Structures are given as C-alpha cells and as structure tokens.
Amino acid sequence: MNSKKSQKIAFIFLLLATLLIIVPVGLIIAIIIQKGLPGISWEFLSDIPRKGMRAGGIFPAIVGTLYLVSGAIIFALPIGLFSAIYLSEYAKDNFLTRIIKLAIVNLAGVPSVVYGLFGLALFVVFFKFGASILSGSLTLGIMILPLIITASREALESVPYSFREVSWSLGASKWQTIRNIVLPNAIPGILTGTILGLGRAAGETAPILFTVAAFYLPQLPRSIFNQAMALPYHLYVISTQVPNVDEKIRYGTALVLLTMVLFMNLIAVVIRYKFRKKKKW
Amino acid sequence: MRKIKELILEKLIFICGIASIFFVVLIFLFLLKEGFALFKTVLPADFLFGRKWYPISEPAQLGILPLILGSLLVTFGAALISIPIGVASAIYIAEVAPAKSKEILKAGIELLAAIPSVVLGFIGMVTLVPWVKKLFHLPTGLTALSGSIMLAFMAMPTIVSIAEDALYSVPKTYKEGALALGATHWQAIWRVMLPAASSGILAAVMLGIGRVIGETMAVMMITGNAAVMPTSILQPVRTLTATIAAEMGEAVVGSEHYFALFAIGIVLFVISFAVNVGADLFLHKKR
C-alpha cells in the first residue's frame, strides 16, 4: 500500500474517532431538549414539589442551587483572586511557588466525593455548622478555587509587562500598579473563570450530598444554617430514589439544570470572544 | 499610612497565595483524622484486601477489595475506550481538521466537559442502560460495561484538550523537517509529532483516567451498585466513590462504618494525588 493511501485511511479513522465524541454530545443535548421541553411550564419553575416529588415544580431546588452557587463564589472569588495576584505578581521562581502550583493541580484533581467527605468532617461535624447552606457553599467554594486561581492567573499574566513598567516609572507603588493597571485589564479573563466556576458549582452533586442537600424540603431556606434542596441532587433523587416519577418531570429537571450550566458557559465564551476582539495589545 | 496599608495587603495576598497548600493539607488531615480511627478496630490489611463488604451486618465486614476491583474494572474499560478515541480525536483537531470546523469541534468537546455528571448519569440510565441490556440479553443493563462507556465520555474532554495542547506545542520545525524529507502528512504525524508529544499525551491520559477514578454520580447511577467481587464486565459492580456517596447518608457519625468510608476517602485521595503529581512531572518534562 502506498503512503498516500494509508494517509487517507488514517485520516478517515481520525475523523471517525472525533465524530464518535461529537455526535453523542449533540444527541445527548437534543434528547434532553426534545423530551424536557414539554415538561417546562411556569408552574414547573415556580411551584414547590408535590405528591412526593411526582408532581408540582422544582422552585426550591432552583433557589437552593442559586444560594449554594452564590455562597461558593463569595468565598472562593476573593481568595482565588488574591492567590492569583500572588502567583502572577509576587511569587518568585522558587520551591514554594512550585509547591503552590502542585497544590493547585492536586486540589483540582481531588475527586468530588472526597470534597463531600471533607466538608462533612470539617464544616458539618467539626465546626458544627450542620448540614446547611453554609457548609455546602464552603465545600463547593474550595472545590472551585483551583479553577478560579488558574483562570485569574492566566488573565493577570496576559497583561503585558510593559504596562507595569510604565506605571512604576510614573511613581506608582506595586499595589497601585496592580489595582489601577493590571486588574482592570485582566477583568474579562477573571470574569470568565469566575462564571465557569459558577457553572461547575451549580452542576456538582457529590460535594453537597452530605453537607447540605435535602431529599425533600418543600419550602425555601430561611437562613444559611438551613438545609436546602439543590437541582443536581434533586435530579439524582427523582431518577434513582423515587419510583414512578413522570418522565416529563425528570427530563424537565435535567433540562433546567443543563440550561443553567450551559448558559453560564455561554456567557463565559461570549466574554472571552468580545475581549479578544477588543484587546489593545 | 499608605505604606502600612500596602504592607498588610501584601501579607494578605501572600496568605491567600499559600491557601491552596493549606487546603490540600487540611483535606488530607481531616481524612486521616476520621479514617485512621477505623484502624483501631480493623487491620489495614483486612481493610484493603478483605473480600467482603457488609458494613451493616453484625459484626460488620469492612473489606474493600471488591470495591477496589470494581473501580479498576470500570476504569480499565473506560481507559480502553477513551484513550484511542481521545488521542485520535486530538490528532484530528490539532493537525487534520480545517480551521473552520476546528473551532466547532473544540466547542463541542468543551460542551461535553461542561455537562454535569448527574445529567450524564441520567442520560446513561435512560438510553445506554436499556441498550446494553437488550444487546447482551442481560437481566439488568446496570453493569460495569455501561459504567465504562459513560465514564469514557467523561474522560475524553480531558484527554482531547491536553493531548491537543501537547501536539500543538511540538515545534513547527519538526513537522516541516519531516515533510521536507518527503514524508506524507500522516507519516510526519505518526513518526515525528506523536513521539515528540508523547510525554504530554501520557499526562493527558493520566489526567483523564484520574477523572474516571474520581467520578461519582454517573457511576453510581449506572453500574448497579453491587458490592461483590466482580467476575465479568457484564455484571453490576460498585466503585470506591459510589460506595461513599451511597452509604455516607446512612452511616452514623463516629461509627465504624463512618470511619471506613473516610478510610476509602484516603485511598481515593492518595490515588488522585499520585496521578496528578505523576502527570505534572510528565508535563514539566516536556518544557
């Protein structure tokens, strides 16, 4: 066989492999939209679950997820951003920096259920927060920390060094330079990372299993020390733990969760795209 | 005054800078604190190599060998599917795809990475599981095979994007040199680019597999959750992660069962630590 022919065959196989990933992705999304859309109504989105979750809506789960995600970001964004500033502006190329980077990689790789265990041991039991929005938010916050650090650091480092030099030469201090020159130019990148973190936190189930998630709680949480329902856990419950749930409710819940997560990803992509166009350097 | 303010700020920035180290250590310490309590009553060897996991019988039997083998079986299956497809797809996207479809393909892969695992688990339950049941005439489609297929999909985004990066960072001159010597594009990819990117691709594979071992929800929903020694890929199995997720809700805080689940957490933490440090070494070797 000549080499031209073998190239053709090889490339066809490569294409097939790619399609084997992309086509199912399209199918998954198409199925969820097609079967979930009939279940979506204003009542479904705004009502509490009724009849043992076999009827009614998913409003408490949506609210619970929003609370959890906001809590996670309030905790993770300041720490993540400052950590990124340290790595990009202050850290020297030494052993400590190497260890920090390794820790970030490891934090990103810890299985989500292990975060759940950790949250249970530290926040629920040791700090006695109980199963609550507070415990769940903190657990999710630590989980998305590496994502926010990595994205923010890339954003900060992509600001040209000459910007800093100009600022210093005008007499600005290091912190003034970071605040007035580096941060404003890095905001789109930081925002992108933050929104991706939000999406990740909204979709995770295992970390909230034992730290906050309520099986069935047909009311809204009153304080951060309350348990709450959450969308991903609710989907898990109605698809495995409760028999005879109408297909429309299952697919509808999956669609709402998927829409929420993909919408955040879409915003992140749009910001990244707009920023690339507007880039001044 | 401003000097003092900046000094305090810089200290704060430093503290946040080392927060990641703090959290990794904190996670490990708390897993150890709760998990090691188990070994007052159970020998570590009996825990790791015991063949029976009956946590609520009297007396409880807490051997996690079936769970370890369950995780290995599912992971091995997922690796077998996702590595060739993932690497091939990375080559296609990095080298072969026309510029326009390249962006769309990358977006599609990112989309897959963004889908929450509980949604993938749900879709697996309603599509893949009945399909496996019918195809192999099984009493149930909740099998290790279903888990492997689903997990392969969850590993692919990681494998594709990191392997693609690795291929992309091979110096252009390598490829041009091969082409100038008369090699076809495919020969240049196969003989020159792949070997040059091998350590990055290896890291991609490791991180993909790390994701598979740690995956919880999808695997719990579609592998059938039978904590027995696995004998076939067409049987229900239970993984380490699924055991924690499924049983922690019922375990009483401070009981032997509770400690045992934390001890499983230690095993998972150590595995993910080894995978990530290993992958990081490979990625740095490249540079």
CATH code where residue A181 lies: 1.10.3720.10
Instruction: Indicate whether B238 belongs to any domain.
Output: yes
Q: Which residue would you say has higher pLDDT here, A281 or B203? A: B203
Domains contained in chain B, number: 1
Does B29 lie at the interface with A, CB-CB under 8 angstroms? Answer: no
Tell if the CB–CB gap between B272 and A111 is shorter than 8 Å: yes
Tell if the CB–CB gap between B216 and A206 is shorter than 8 Å: yes
Instruction: Indicate whether A78 belongs to any domain.
Output: yes
B227-282: per-residue pLDDT in tens? 888 888 888 999 999 999 999 988 888 889 999 999 999 999 999 999 999 998 88
User: What letter represents residue B148's amino acid?
Assistant: S
Q: Give me the pLDDT at residue B132, please.
A: 92
Mind listing the pLDDT tens digit of every residue in chain A (281 residues)?
A: 688 889 999 999 999 999 999 999 999 999 999 999 998 999 889 888 887 787 888 999 999 999 999 999 999 999 999 999 999 999 988 999 999 999 999 999 999 999 999 999 999 999 999 889 999 999 999 999 999 999 999 999 999 999 999 999 998 988 999 999 999 989 988 998 999 999 999 999 999 998 988 888 878 888 888 888 999 999 999 998 888 888 889 999 999 999 999 999 899 888 888 887 777 66
Phi–psi pair at A279, nearest 5 degrees: -45, 130
Residue B184, pLDDT above cutoff 80? yes
Does B214 lie at the interface with A, CB-CB under 8 angstroms? Answer: yes
Domain assignment of residue A80, given as a range: 56-278
Tell if the CB–CB gap between B24 and A103 is shorter than 8 Å: yes
Q: Give me the pLDDT at residue B5, please.
A: 87
Instruction: Indicate whether B21 belongs to any domain.
Output: no
- B272 torsion bin: left (phi>0), alpha (psi -120 to 50), beta (else): alpha
Nearest to B244 among A82, A113, A236 (CB): A113
Residue B104, pLDDT above cutoff 80? yes
Residue B116, pLDDT above cutoff 60? yes
Instruction: Indicate whether B97 belongs to any domain.
Output: yes
| CB atoms near residue A128 (< 10 Å) | 8
Residue B225, pLDDT above cutoff 80? yes
- Interface residue of A8, A23, A173, A205 to substitute, partner B, most B CBs within 10 Å: A205
Integer CA distances (angstroms), B251 to A32, B246, B255, B257, in order: 35, 10, 7, 6
Tell if the CB–CB gap between B156 and A21 is shorter than 8 Å: yes
Element (H, E) at A165: helix A161-169
Instruction: Indicate whether B33 belongs to any domain.
Output: no
Domains contained in chain A, number: 1
Chain B hits for A11, Cβ within 8 Å: 92, 96, 186
Instruction: Indicate whether B143 belongs to any domain.
Output: yes
Chain A hits for B215, Cβ within 8 Å: 111
Q: Give me the pLDDT at residue A46, please.
A: 87
Does B140 lie at the interface with A, CB-CB under 8 angstroms? Answer: no
Chain B hits for A109, Cβ within 8 Å: 207, 210, 214, 272-273, 275-276
- Distance in angstroms (rounded) separating the CA atoms of residues B283 and B198: 10
Token digits of residue B66: 């079936």
- Distance in angstroms (rounded) separating the CA atoms of residues B210 and B140: 28
Nearest to A14 among B88, B245, B253 (CB): B88
**A184 contacts: CB under 8 Å, gap ≥ 6:** none
Domain assignment of residue B106, given as a range: 49-286
Tell if the CB–CB gap between B221 and A239 is shorter than 8 Å: yes
Tell if the CB–CB gap between B92 and A15 is shorter than 8 Å: yes
Chain A hits for B248, Cβ within 8 Å: 116-117, 120, 209-210
Residue B286, pLDDT above cutoff 60? no
pTM given for the model: 0.92
Instruction: Indicate whether A92 belongs to any domain.
Output: yes
- Residue found under tokens 């995978």: B275
- Residue found under tokens 């370890």: B68
Residue B160, pLDDT above cutoff 90? yes
Q: Measured between CA atoms, how close is A143 to chain B, in angstroms?
A: 10
Q: Give me the pLDDT at residue A1, please.
A: 63
Q: For residue B59, what pLDDT band results from cuts at 50, 70 and 90?
A: confident
Instruction: Indicate whether A100 belongs to any domain.
Output: yes
Q: Measured between CA atoms, how close is A85 to chain B, in angstroms?
A: 7
Residue range B26-53: mean pLDDT, rounded = 90
| CB atoms near residue A108 (< 10 Å) | 19
Q: Which of A47-56, A64-73, B158-167, B182-191 has the lowest mean pLDDT?
A: A47-56
Instruction: Indicate whether A215 belongs to any domain.
Output: yes
> CATH number for the domain including B148?
1.10.3720.10
